[in-house]
Amino acid sequence: MPKGYVIAHATITNPEKWAEYVAKSKIALEKYEGKPIARGGKSEIVEGNGTPRNVILEFPSYEHARSYATSPEYAEAKVLRQGAGTLDMTIVEGV
């Protein structure tokens, strides 16, 4: 079965509030067996507009990734993100 991935691109405007969101989202990440592959760190935009922060989370399956992103636990974390920045998130099936 192919793995599932959550790919997110973020612009953070309030780092302290964003940190609260990240801490809370770890509950859902653990529940759905997610593992960070890339989370912030050094990056370079080589084409297009890009975003300052990029995240890739790996899950055992597409279904796990989707369950994470649509879970009540993650919904609670999203509330904490309000006013802390913007986020684009995509769920992708691995090959």
Question: Cβ of 48: how many Cβ atoms within 10 Å?
Answer: 6
- Decide if pLDDT at 90 tops 90: yes
Q: Where are the domains of the chain?
A: 4-41+53-93
Q: Convert the pLDDT of each residue in 9-51 to its tens digit.
A: 999 999 999 999 999 999 999 999 999 999 988 888 899 988 8
In our burial notation (b when 16+ CB lie closer than 10 A, e otherwise), range 17-47 reads bbeebbebbeebbeebebeeeeeeeeeeeee
> Is 4-41+53-93 in CATH node 3.40.640.10?
no
